[in-house]
């Protein structure tokens, strides 16, 4: 849930700003000077909304619009093609998302449905509050690049830019450009399309650039960090199963989970997924070490039908099962409560007794921890420390630690630098891509509205000669696109809050 102190702080700040604005505007002494101060700085205030506009970047936009005119023509023409394709693709994507959402709602348990194509993000609900800085910074960057595309494309088409600005609505930042409407209405529909499509085109390019940086990050950081040696622990959740004297610590490098090698975070996740969906791994233990425990192997059934033989709930002992020596029936099993670390430290993983016989000259059997259905016993290798022994549900281990692929070459390097770059690039990819998709939707008040209107003017002028009829067609298409987007957002919010 959204932290109450954060929510109170946001509301208090906005109430203070609005109260101060109201008092200054109602003051006979300070009203004129205050409004002049706001106007000189391009500031506008309203409840939960502040807007700033300036002309200081107009020269920069004009300079960019004059760089290699031929290349810019090809660049924004490519954006025009991308904008038209993305407008059609966004509709298909929203229809597919709506179908998936409705399918989840009609299942017996909507929480267990498949993954959505698009997901509504709510800070504090499905977005960790610890990553709000990444989210808002990436959102602002994506908005600025989006508007930069509009501004440069407009100046290239001889449309005046009145100014550039940024705004804050509650906690969400954004950017905008103010174009001279008269100039915009005088140019051809194709020129208008280049301007309207430039925003989503630049968002797509930013998304691709961030994705490239993400994949090339090991190369960029190679002089300072290396990869492939394991998954480096950067954080351990306090009070979790991974914490403790023999647990994981910040700076440990995990190299294996059972007999599954871990060379990075991806292997860590895949190994945990594999271990949680396969039968429990066994361990080759000499038969002689089992003999003293046979007399204490009084097993009893748990509620789920599995067997337990450690009734004292010891933190050091665990119930193991194995096939009785000389028995030919694999179902004829013996149970023994044994000290778990002593029994499995330094032993090999196995599935059958024959594997143990092939690996050792001494008489050995394959013992398997007798645990509840979804519970697993996992040995976590993080040299030079002894194994961490985990007993529980594998996803709990995954959520207990934060890991990175990058291991510093020098002790003074910070462990979190690669994590910061990775996380920020991932947010830029997600948010810039989302802005490209959403703004392409033929919907009122979005870029898709102007893209659709310009497209209809460019393509239907010879088929539907009456301008009012073309506008009517555009209105109904925009109405359908707006309804499609609104339904997706509404159902997406319902699915998120229903979790």
CATH number of the domain where residue 250 is located: 2.30.42.10
242 plus 388 within the same structural domain? yes
> Structural domain of residue 152, as residue ranges?
60-219+422-498
Angle between helices 189-220 and 132-156 (to 10 degrees): 140
pLDDT at position 475 = 97
Sole residue written with tokens 């102007």:
450
64 plus 188 within the same structural domain? yes
235 plus 381 within the same structural domain? yes
pLDDT at position 109 = 52
pLDDT at position 113 = 44
The full 3-state SS of the chain, as one line of letters, equals CCCHHHHHHHHHHHHHHHHHHHHHHHCCCCHHHHHHHHHHCCEEEECCEEEEEECCCHHHHHHHHCCCHHHHHHHHHHHHHHHHHHHHHHHHHHHHHHHHHHHHHHCCCHHHCCCCCCCCCCECCCECHHHHHHHHHHHHHHHHHHHHHHHHHHHHCCCCEEEEEEEEECCEEEEEEEECHHHHHHCCHHHHHHHHHHHHHHHHHHHHHHHHHHHHHHHHCCCCEECCCCEEEEEECCCCCCCCCCCCCCCCEECEECCEECCCHHHHHHHHHHHHCCCCCEEEEEHHHHHHHHHHCCCEECCCCCEECCCCCCCCEEEEEEECCCCCCCCCEEEEEEEHHHHHCCCCEECCHHHHHHHCCCCEEEEEECCCCCCEEEEEECCCCCCEEEEECHHHHHHHEEEECCEECCCCCCCHHHHHHHHHHHHHHHHHHHHHHHHHCCCCCCHHHHHHHHHHHHHCCCCCCCHHHHHHHHHHHHHHHHHHHHHHHHHHHHHHHHC
pLDDT at position 440 = 96
Quick check: is 391 in a domain?
yes
Please provide residue 383's backbone torsions phi and psi, each rounded to the nearest 5 degrees: -60, 155
| pTM recorded for the entire structure | 0.85
60 CB-near residues (< 8 Å, 6+ apart) = none
Active-site choice (35, 147, 157, 422): 147
Sole residue written with tokens 């670390």:
341
pLDDT averages per 10-residue partition of the chain, 499 residues: 77 93 91 93 92 95 94 97 96 93 72 54 71 92 97 96 94 93 95 97 98 95 94 92 90 94 95 92 83 55 81 77 71 81 84 80 85 90 92 91 94 92 95 95 95 95 90 96 94 76
103 plus 180 within the same structural domain? yes
Quick check: is 416 in a domain?
no
Quick check: is 380 in a domain?
yes
| Contact (CB, 8 A) for 437 and 148 | no
166 plus 212 within the same structural domain? yes
The full 3-state SS of 30-74, as one line of letters, equals CHHHHHHHHHHCCEEEECCEEEEEECCCHHHHHHHHCCCHHHHHH
pLDDT at position 250 = 93
215 plus 233 within the same structural domain? no
State how far the Cα of 269 lies from the Cα of 288, in Å rounded to an integer: 37
Quick check: is 123 in a domain?
yes
434 plus 355 within the same structural domain? no
195 plus 316 within the same structural domain? no
Q: Pairing state of beta strands 407-408 and 225-226? A: antiparallel
392 plus 319 within the same structural domain? no
pLDDT at position 124 = 62
426 plus 457 within the same structural domain? yes
484 plus 354 within the same structural domain? no
State how far the Cα of 413 lies from the Cα of 408, in Å rounded to an integer: 6
| Contact (CB, 8 A) for 348 and 356 | yes
The yes-or-no answer on residue 147 being catalytic is yes
Total domains present in the chain: 4
Give the CB-side neighbour count of residue 47, counting CA atoms within 13 A: 1
């Amino acid at each position: 849930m959204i932290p109450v102190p954060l929510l109170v702080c946001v509301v208090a700040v906005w109430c203070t700003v609005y109260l101060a604005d109201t008092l200054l505007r109602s003051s006979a002494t300070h009203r004129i000077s205050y409004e002049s101060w706001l106007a000189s700085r391009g500031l506008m205030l309203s409840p939960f909304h502040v807007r700033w506009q300036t002309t200081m970047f107009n020269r920069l936009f004009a300079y960019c619009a004059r760089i290699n005119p031929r290349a810019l023509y090809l660049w924004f023409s490519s954006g025009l093609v991308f904008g038209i394709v993305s407008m059609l693709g966004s509709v298909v994507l929203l229809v597919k998302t709506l179908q998936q959402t409705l399918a989840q709602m009609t299942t017996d348990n909507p929480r267990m449905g498949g993954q959505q194509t698009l997901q509504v993000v709510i800070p504090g609900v499905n977005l960790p509050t610890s990553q709000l800085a990444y989210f808002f910074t990436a959102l602002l960057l994506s908005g600025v690049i989006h508007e930069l595309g509009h501004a440069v494309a407009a100046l290239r088409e001889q449309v005046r830019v009145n100014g550039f600005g940024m705004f804050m609505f509650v906690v969400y930042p954004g950017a905008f450009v103010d174009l001279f409407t008269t100039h915009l209405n005088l140019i051809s529909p194709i020129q208008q399309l280049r301007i309207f499509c430039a925003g989503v085109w630049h968002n797509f390019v930013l998304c691709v650039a961030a994705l490239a940086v993400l994949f090339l990050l090991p190369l960029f950081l190679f002089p300072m960090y290396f990869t492939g040696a394991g998954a480096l622990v950067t954080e351990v959740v306090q009070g979790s199963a991974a914490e403790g004297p023999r647990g994981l610590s910040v700076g440990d490098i995990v190299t294996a989970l059972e007999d599954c090698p871990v060379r990075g975070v991806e292997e860590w996740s895949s190994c945990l997924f594999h271990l949680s969906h396969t039968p429990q791994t066994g361990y080759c233990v000499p038969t002689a070490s089992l003999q003293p425990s046979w007399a204490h192997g009084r097993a009893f059934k748990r509620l789920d039908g599995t067997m337990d033989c450690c009734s004292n709930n010891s933190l050091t002992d665990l119930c193991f099962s194995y096939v009785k020596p000389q028995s030919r029936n694999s179902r004829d099993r013996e149970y023994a409560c044994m000290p778990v670390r002593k029994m499995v430290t330094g032993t090999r993983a196995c599935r059958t007794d024959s594997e143990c016989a092939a690996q050792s000259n001494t008489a050995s059997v394959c013992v398997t921890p007798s645990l509840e259905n979804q519970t697993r016993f996992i040995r976590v290798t993080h040299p030079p420390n002894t194994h961490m022994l985990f007993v529980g549900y594998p996803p709990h281990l995954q959520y207990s630690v934060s890991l990175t692929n990058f291991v510093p070459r020098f002790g003074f390097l910070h462990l979190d630098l690669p994590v910061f770059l990775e996380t920020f690039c991932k947010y830029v990819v997600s948010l810039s891509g989302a802005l490209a998709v959403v703004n392409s939707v033929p919907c009122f008040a979005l870029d898709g509205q102007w893209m659709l209107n310009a497209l209809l003017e460019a393509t239907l002028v010879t088929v539907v000669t009456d301008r009012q009829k073309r506008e009517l067609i555009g209105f109904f298409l925009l109405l359908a696109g707006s309804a499609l987007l609104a339904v997706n957002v509404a159902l997406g919010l319902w699915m998120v809050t229903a979790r």
